[in-house]
Amino acid sequence: MATPIELEVNGKRYPVSYPADTPLLYVLRDELGLTGSKYGCGEGLCGACTVLIAGTPRRSCQFPVSAAVGKPITTIEGLEKDGKLHPVQQAFLDAGAFQCAFCTSGMIMSSVGLLQSNSNPSQTEIVQSMQGNICRCGTHPRIVEAVRQAARMMQEHGR
Amino acid sequence: MNAHRQKFLAEPERYEFEAAPIHQFALDRRDFFKLLGAGIAVFAITKDALAAQETAPGPRSFHGEELPKDISAWLHVGEDGSVTGFTGKAEIGQNIRTSLAQTIADELRVPFESVRMVMADTSLTPFDAGTFGSRTTPTMTPQLRRVASAARDLLVGAAAKEWNVPPEGLRAADAKVTDPASGRSLRYAELVRGKTLAQNLPAEDPVTPATEWTVAGKAIPKVDGRAFVTGRHQYTSDLHPEGTLHGKVLRPPSFGATLISYDDTAAKSMPGVVIVRDGNFVAAAAPTAAAAQKALDAIRAQWKEVPQISNREIFSYLKQNAEAKSEDRFRKQKGSVEEGLANAAHRVDATYTVAYIAHAPLEPRAAVAQWEDSKLTVWTGTQRPFAVRDDLADIFHVPEGSVRVIVPDTGSAYGGKHTSDAAIEAARLARAAGRRPVKVVWTREEEFTWAYFRPAGVIEVKSGIAADGTLTAWEFHNYHSGMSAIETPYVVANQHTEYHQVPLILRCGSYRGLAATANHFARETHMDALARAAGMDPLDFRMKNLSDARLRAVIAAAAKSFGWPRKKSRPGQGFGIAAGFEKGSYVATCAEVAVDGSSGAVRVVKLVEAFECGAIVNPDGLRNQVVGAMIQGLGGALFEAIEFENGRINNAHFSSYRVPRFRDVPDIEAILLDRKDIPSAGAGETPIMAVAPAIGNAIFDASGIRLNGLPLVPNGLHTI
């Protein structure tokens, strides 16, 4: 049964009506038109759908929409502020850390989540925390480099 | 038949290619200027077409004429100075949208930022056979360079006419033509104002040599990079035209199953649902994907299945079911292998196997289709938009001109997106949905099951060497996997190579590098075994039997950077090397592995690869491709394999089909050799070829265990 609920996504409130167990990803993509979060497997195994829920990176394809009620959700679309990229986005751009870029939204959201809980992660910590995100083009070394660059930028700018 | 088609046929492992392309295009000159506004346009005709037009050489104007067939690229310079390049090639992550724009900017002498590429749209771009075979850089880059060069000549000519001076003394740079004698200049935008001037390309114009490139050759970042880091770029699966329905296909329980009973009464009664049954094709479209799935779940279908073989028996099956006699073009012979073997001081014979693997592009197959009366528009992530158009025209019995296929920049392909499946499914559903668009996005399980695979194969090698390590005989048979790079680059007086076709078992076809990966794995592993038999260092043994200067150069570069030969500093450490060439580019890879003696776990510690593909167009994009191929190659080398049984895929998920992840990635070094004296070749494939044998040889060096099958260690070393 579809239930009316309210979601808070990227600082905006959206009334939606969905069965409680609908994965958040489909509500974001199909209802709210936020297609930056990608479907890659629907099983929580590739990370392409990663969003922040109350600041924590979550696989939105496995996260029931009902469980997201009352928690701020941030998607890739919510990172840019007043035309200025988030340092992680800027670092991915600067490092050329993408090829087909289908994994990029999820990679960036996972990185943002990591840097919020660990502002200066080691190489090993980055690798550990990104293990659940698949890049089939093999851009891994640049992605790790981008996360390191972003950490530096964020420390310099005191974010 | 033109040379391209012949080339494709020479790669018989492109099993998914069936229909011959039909050369045709939809846009005439009037539409062209209507679309883009006034300016100048230059059209490149492929060499083959030029050859056919030998009776009328030289430039031809377009006044009132239809555009000729076999145009490969075109370019437009508009009244606002904007430059638009058109090509049927698709951007699938290999960064050609950037490198092709660089090429045009370089040759036309305009800033990179003023060039825009229109790609892979069957109504707007010239016919193109597809984006595969590392062909974009060697074929499309020179064609775009020639059209840009011809456009520049036109602009210089226009300025010369304006000033009434000979064109020879004028200079084109920074999007303007300058007369050094008087110092006056005119911007391109001014020169094209009010003109609708079109020219097809006279012949092979002289183009700027790589040593004089200013925009090409530079590490320019990916065009539209910002759209990707903000999530704004719309892949096919992100498109949602007004009124779009979501489509789902009812998959049979196994390959080759046929529908024997069917009841869709319950599904049909669901509001807003469109059901299609057409032979064995059953699908539903609904306002949401969940509703479409619910409708499918309500359909009662019974299928008749057929027994099929499993991955456990595939290799013996391939050997036993090979065609009795291979075609002549699949066989090459020189000297006498028998004599060579008889005269050998050491003989090494071995059999190698490679498993089926999946491309697993992160964006699964997807299409959005919309009919407007008898006209069909399909957006889909494909490497072959014109082939998809032709398939759709055939299947729906409409002229090619009524079908438009548009390829949004796509979430990767690796040779896996050559077929029309999702496009056909979406179009079939849309046909039943009136004018409403229908979107079909495959699930990961569908992608792992109903796409096509890299073919499995068996390779048998017989070989001999003289006491001093000189190769005396080389016999190489590839069963099923293919004949790309089947010939040895080493000097051998007596050799026999042969590819044996086997009727398809699983649906399979092109995969990055085709069979070059399998053939390199067998050959370079075998060369390592021969080196050991000769008591020689594997690098010295290769060099002793190798005359190809470009191949020697990449081997030397990789070895130098790796520090070959290296001394082992701890137990379980091992080093391996492998090399080869294909499609005009050269690769050598050195690997270091660590084998855990107690657990049997194998870790690739370091990969050093030297790569050379002629003059480098964009070193940043190239490095991404080379490192990417190395990492993707790790998967097929170490653990990727499709498991199947009775027409079912048993590991159709990322939980059971393991792809390389961050922890699998070793320390990687890519050395790019820039040969400005050699025309640029493609780089999408060759860098993957030597990874597996280098790792396998390193595992042997570490453990003394010779692994002759890909994947090498799906479950570690002890369980082999």
The CATH number of whichever domain residue B540 belongs to comes to 3.30.365.10
What is the SS3 string spanning B177-198?
Answer: EECCCCCCEEEHHHHHCCCEEE
Question: Would you say residue B447 lies in a domain?
Answer: no
**Residue A132: is its pLDDT beyond 50?**
yes
The confidence band for A1, taking pLDDT boundaries of 50, 70 and 90, is confident
DSSP state of B44: E
Question: Would you say residue A114 lies in a domain?
Answer: yes
Name which of A68, A53, A55, A57 is nearest A23 in CA terms: A68
Question: Would you say residue A82 lies in a domain?
Answer: no
Cβ-defined contact of B654 to A43 (cutoff 8 Å): yes
Could you tell me the mean pLDDT of each successive run of 10 residues in chain B, 720 residues long? 41 61 43 78 62 28 39 85 94 95 96 96 88 87 89 93 96 97 96 84 72 94 96 98 97 96 97 95 96 98 97 97 90 97 97 98 98 96 94 93 96 95 97 96 98 97 98 98 97 98 94 97 98 98 98 98 97 98 97 95 98 96 97 98 98 98 98 96 96 98 97 84
Per 3-state DSSP, chain A is made up of helix, strand and coil in percentages (nearest 5) of: 40, 20, 40
Question: Would you say residue A54 lies in a domain?
Answer: yes
> Final residue of a domain: which of A77, A106, A126?
A77
Pairing of strands B644-645, A56-59: unpaired
Beta carbons within 10 angstroms of residue B64's beta carbon: 7
Cβ-defined contact of B230 to A85 (cutoff 8 Å): yes
B274 and B164 part of one domain:
no
Q: What angle, rounded to 10 degrees, do the helices at B619-638 and B691-703 form? A: 50
A17 and A72 part of one domain:
yes
Chain B contacts in chain A segment 85-114 (CB below 8 A): 85, 89-90, 92-93, 96, 98-105, 108
A5 touches chain B (CB under 8 A): no
Which among A39, A107, A112, A144 is the top mutation candidate for probing chain B, defined by the most B β-carbons within 10 Å of its own β-carbon?
A: A39
Q: At A14, which CATH number?
A: 3.10.20.30
Question: Would you say residue A132 lies in a domain?
Answer: yes
B405 and B544 part of one domain:
no
3-state class (DSSP) for residue B230? coil
Cβ-defined contact of A140 to B414 (cutoff 8 Å): no
A48 and A107 part of one domain:
no
Q: Please, which residues have CB within 8 angstroms of residue A91's CB and are 6 or more apart in sequence? A: A97, A146, A147, A149, A150, A153
The partner residue sitting opposite B412, judged by closest CB among A39, A92, A102, is A102
Helix segments in B270-335, DSSP class H = 289-297, 314-320
Q: Sign of the CA dihedral B370, B374, B377, B382? A: positive
Q: How far is CA A79 from CA A108, A109, B229, B523, in A?
A: 10, 9, 10, 50
Question: Would you say residue B231 lies in a domain?
Answer: no
Distance, CA of B429 to CA of B248 (rounded, Å): 9
- Look at residue B140 in the predicted model and tell me its pLDDT: 86
A-chain residues near B663 (CB < 8 A): 127-128, 131
Q: What is the pTM of this model?
A: 0.94
Cβ-defined contact of A42 to B237 (cutoff 8 Å): no
Q: How far is CA B516 from CA B520, B687, B691, in A?
A: 6, 11, 12
B267 and B346 part of one domain:
no
Cβ-defined contact of B237 to A79 (cutoff 8 Å): no
Question: Would you say residue B694 lies in a domain?
Answer: yes
Distance, CA of B655 to CA of B653 (rounded, Å): 5
A69 and A93 part of one domain:
no
- Look at residue B30 in the predicted model and tell me its pLDDT: 58
* Count of structural domains, chain A: 2
B261 and B408 part of one domain:
yes
Encoded amino acid at A125, one letter: E
Helix segments in B109-183, DSSP class H = 141-163
CA–CA min distance A69, chain B (Å): 21
A153 touches chain B (CB under 8 A): no
Name which of A105, A42, A144 is nearest B442 in CA terms: A42
- Look at residue B207 in the predicted model and tell me its pLDDT: 84
Distance, CA of B719 to CA of B711 (rounded, Å): 13
ipTM reported for the complex surpasses 0.85: yes
Which structural domain range is residue A93 located in? Answer: 87-156
Question: Would you say residue A22 lies in a domain?
Answer: yes
- The phi, psi pair for B696, rounded to 5°, reads -60, -40
B-chain residues near A17 (CB < 8 A): none
B489 and B343 part of one domain:
yes
Beta carbons within 10 angstroms of residue B626's beta carbon: 26
DSSP letters along A26-51, please? HIIIIIS--TTS--S-SSSSS-TTEE
Q: How far is CA B180 from CA B130, B170, B173, B174, B185, in A?
A: 44, 7, 12, 14, 9
- Look at residue B202 in the predicted model and tell me its pLDDT: 56
B-chain residues near A132 (CB < 8 A): 661
B327 and B402 part of one domain:
no
What is the SS3 string spanning B334-402?
Answer: ECCHHHHHHCCCEEEEEEEEECCECCCCCCCCEEEEEEECCEEEEEECCCCHHHHHHHHHHHHCCCHHH
Measured between CA atoms, the residue of chain A closest to residue B653 is A41
> Final residue of a domain: which of B221, B250, B274?
B221
> Final residue of a domain: which of B189, B221, B253?
B221
B568 and B434 part of one domain:
no
Question: Would you say residue B283 lies in a domain?
Answer: yes
The partner residue sitting opposite B289, judged by closest CB among A26, A102, A135, is A26
Cβ-defined contact of B661 to A134 (cutoff 8 Å): yes
Residue with tokens 């986005």: A89
Question: Would you say residue B328 lies in a domain?
Answer: yes
B346 and B379 part of one domain:
no
Is the peptide bond prior to B711 cis by the omega test (within 30 degrees of 0)?
yes
Chain B contacts in chain A segment 18-77 (CB below 8 A): 19, 22, 26, 29-30, 33-43, 45-46, 48, 75-77
Beta carbons within 10 angstroms of residue B416's beta carbon: 24
Number of helical (H) and strand (E) elements in chain A, helices listed first: 5, 5
> Final residue of a domain: which of B221, B251, B268?
B221
Q: Give the pLDDT mean for A65-88.
A: 97
Measured between CA atoms, the residue of chain A closest to residue B287 is A30
Q: Please, which residues have CB within 8 angstroms of residue B704's CB and are 6 or more apart in sequence? A: none
Question: Would you say residue B416 lies in a domain?
Answer: yes
The partner residue sitting opposite A138, judged by closest CB among B233, B409, B629, is B629
Question: Would you say residue A121 lies in a domain?
Answer: yes
3-state class (DSSP) for residue B686? helix
CB pairs under 8 A between A and B: 162
Q: What angle, rounded to 10 degrees, do the helices at A140-156 and A123-130 form? A: 120
The partner residue sitting opposite B362, judged by closest CB among A85, A89, A134, is A134
Distance, CA of A29 to CA of B692 (rounded, Å): 39
A105 and A137 part of one domain:
yes
Distance, CA of A28 to CA of A16 (rounded, Å): 10
Cβ-defined contact of B93 to A100 (cutoff 8 Å): yes
Question: Would you say residue A45 lies in a domain?
Answer: yes
Which among B223, B240, B362 is the top mutation candidate for probing chain A, defined by the most A β-carbons within 10 Å of its own β-carbon?
A: B362
Question: Would you say residue A13 lies in a domain?
Answer: yes
Question: Would you say residue B228 lies in a domain?
Answer: no
Measured between CA atoms, the residue of chain A closest to residue B226 is A93
Cβ-defined contact of A100 to B363 (cutoff 8 Å): yes
Q: At A92, which CATH number?
A: 1.10.150.120
Question: Would you say residue B312 lies in a domain?
Answer: no
Which structural domain range is residue B84 located in? Answer: 3-221
Measured between CA atoms, the residue of chain A closest to residue B228 is A101
B-chain residues near A24 (CB < 8 A): none
Measured between CA atoms, the residue of chain B closest to residue A29 is B238
> Final residue of a domain: which of A52, A77, A102?
A77
> Final residue of a domain: which of A42, A77, A112?
A77
B215 and B243 part of one domain:
no
Q: Please, which residues have CB within 8 angstroms of residue B172's CB and are 6 or more apart in sequence? A: B108, B109, B152, B155, B156, B178
Which among A43, A86, A94, A102 is the top mutation candidate for probing chain B, defined by the most B β-carbons within 10 Å of its own β-carbon?
A: A102
CA–CA min distance B666, chain A (Å): 9
B62 and B91 part of one domain:
yes
CA–CA min distance B218, chain A (Å): 14
Per 3-state DSSP, chain B is made up of helix, strand and coil in percentages (nearest 5) of: 30, 25, 45
Cβ-defined contact of A77 to B443 (cutoff 8 Å): no
A-chain residues near B363 (CB < 8 A): 38, 40, 100, 102
Q: How far is CA A87 from CA A153, B11, B123, B237, B417, in A?
A: 6, 46, 40, 27, 34
- Look at residue B527 in the predicted model and tell me its pLDDT: 98
B-chain residues near A84 (CB < 8 A): none
Encoded amino acid at B284, one letter: A
Buried b (16+ CB within 10 A) or exposed e, B701-719: bbbeeebbbbbbbbeebee
Is the peptide bond prior to B142 cis by the omega test (within 30 degrees of 0)?
no
The partner residue sitting opposite A76, judged by closest CB among B231, B364, B659, is B231
Encoded amino acid at B184, one letter: R
Distance, CA of B62 to CA of B65 (rounded, Å): 5
**Residue A37: is its pLDDT beyond 70?**
yes
A72 and A108 part of one domain:
no
* Count of structural domains, chain B: 3
